[in-house]
Each structure stands twice: as C-alpha cells, then as structure tokens.
Amino acid sequence: MKTFKKIEKVACALLMVGVLVILPACQNKNDRDSVAYYTCPMHSQIKQDSPGQCPICSMNLIPVKKSDMESDSQGHAHAESHGEASAPSATSLGIDPVRLQRIGVQTAEVQIRNLSKEILIQGKVAHDPKLWVAQKEYLIALRLGDGSLIKSSEEKLRFLGLSKEWIAEIRKRRRADMGLHLPMPGQPSLLEAFINQSDLNEIHVGQVLEIYDLQNRSLGRGKIVALGTLLNMESRTMRVLVQSDSFLDLPSNSFVQFKITLDLGKRLAVPKSAILFNGDHNMVYVETSPGKFIGKKIQLGVQASDYYEVDQGLQVGEQVVVNGHFLIDSETQMRMGTSGGHQH
C-alpha cells in the first residue's frame, strides 16, 4: 500500500512537470500561430516569417497579428459594399499601441488659427533712364497743352510703372522726379520691386513692407507707391515702385530684398507636416480613436508659414497625424491593396 502511494505521488509530480513544460510551449505555439508575419516599423515592405532585424535599418522586427489583418480586411470589405472601396478617404487602419510608439506617430489638433503670410520679393534701387525721358515728354506735353499728347504721355508713364496718383504728383509739381534715377540725399529713396505673378493679387498701392540688403540686414521700411501694367514674359514678374521712409545711402541699381507680411485673419488650418501631397489630391491621416486611423482627402487654401488653410475635408478638433503618416500610408496600401500611388 505504501509503495502504491509513493508511485501515485511520483506520477502526480511528473504530471505537474509535464503541464508546466507543455502549457507554455502550447501558448508560445498559439502566439506564433497568431502572427501573420514580422515587419520593420520603418520599412513596412519588409516581411519575414520569424523575428529578426530589418536588413535595411537593423531595427528589431515587430509582429503583425492575423486578427489585425482580418479586422482590417473586414472593414475594407464593408467599405466596398457601401461603395467606398478604393478612395483614400475610406481607407482605415488599426495599429498596435506598442508599434505606434516605436514608429513615433504624433498627432496635432485641427484648429482655427490666426494666419499670416510672408511674401519675399527681390528688388533694386531705382534707376530707369526710360522713365526719365517719359517724364520729360509728359512735362513738355503739359506745357504745350496738347490734350492727345498729354493723354498718350500719361499712358506711357503708367505703362512704365507709375500710378495715377504718382503721375498727378508730377503734374502738380511740374518737374521730373530725379529720385527714380539718382539718389537724392535727405529725400526718401525710390526702389523697384519685382513681384511674382502668383502674388500680384496680394499687392496694392500703399502697402507697407520691410527693406533688407542681401545679407538680410534691415534697411528700414517703405511702402508701395505704384504698380506696373506690364508682366515680364521671361521672369513672370511685375515691376512695382517702392518709396522708403527715409533716405537710403545705396548706389543706383544696388540689389535689395523686401518682405511683406499679410494678415489673413482667423482660418481653419492644419500643420504643413500633416499633409501628404499628391498630384491629383492632398490628404491627411486622422486618428479616429486610439490606434485607429483613416485617410481623408482635403482641399487646401493659402499657405501661411508652417500651416495650410483647409477649405474642405476636416473639422475643428480632429487629430491629424503630423509624424509617422508616411509609414501609416505605406502600411495602409500594403494591407488594403490600395493603389493610391502617393508621391511623397
């Protein structure tokens, strides 16, 4: 009897040892069976059947579970059944929080912001012999009192870049403005700015600007006093006359720079870093819940420093991805089979 009890105790002990050995092995096997493949958090094109390191960047590979892929594929199939299949705005993706941390995904809130835009312009100290001759012709026409000659002379001055107000000032003083040709000590200096065609709608007479030399040292402030009427076909720029607030001791034709700051007011805006720019559309990734992302097409307005105005596609309070969206986009295309072909 005692011998039987000893055998029973030994058998129980061996059984417990077997459970302790076999159960973890089964759990490890189940964990392995639940993994679809291993991939690099930085290079999602890398797929391996077992753990290891990325052959590109040597980062440790992380597992992608079959359950995540099934969940994503079901969501994609649901979108297809509702006619939302291939558009980037219908692509959703769930990512494990641990992997999110490794990728370094960061988000920012879509907000109404006070936006301002800076326009940088090249220019020079004014020196234009043609404008001097045109002014002299205009003064002669005024002396002669010839109406048709006066009109044609005024049109020529406007063609060369003088505003109606500037021409009226010449007519009032009855003398040519030497400041357009030679610096006049003690008098405000006249300069020429060359505005890009794309910025012309933002420019108007009376606008204040900052003046800098080519080393970005401030020379003072000035204002626009006349707009040209002819676009240079080669440079796609318009000639604009600027008057400084004070005399600038610079040689004629010295190159300078101008900066105009435009207050755009309050507008819905998103960080520039959140946008995936594409040829036919622009998009962002929005975090709809922790670890869940959806791509949205958006329409952009003006760019203001590090932000873009959003005309359509986003609402205040949404969280857009500002870091890691390239990897999310790549993962989305890989898992969903999308063919967005984003040009990053």
pLDDT in tens, 289-323: 888 888 899 999 988 889 999 999 999 999 999 99
CB atoms within 10 A of CB 192: 22
pLDDT reading at 239 higher than 90: no
Cβ proximity of 103 and 304 under 8 Å: no
pLDDT in tens, 109-156: 999 999 998 899 999 998 777 888 899 999 999 999 999 999 999 999
pLDDT of residue 56: 67
| 320 or 344, greater pLDDT | 320
- List the structure tokens of 113: 């912001």
* Residues of the chain by 3-state class (helix, strand, coil), percent to 5: 35, 35, 30
| Whole-number percent of the chain with pLDDT over 70 | 76
Amino acid of residue 176: A
Cα(153)–Cα(28) distance, rounded to whole angstroms? Answer: 92
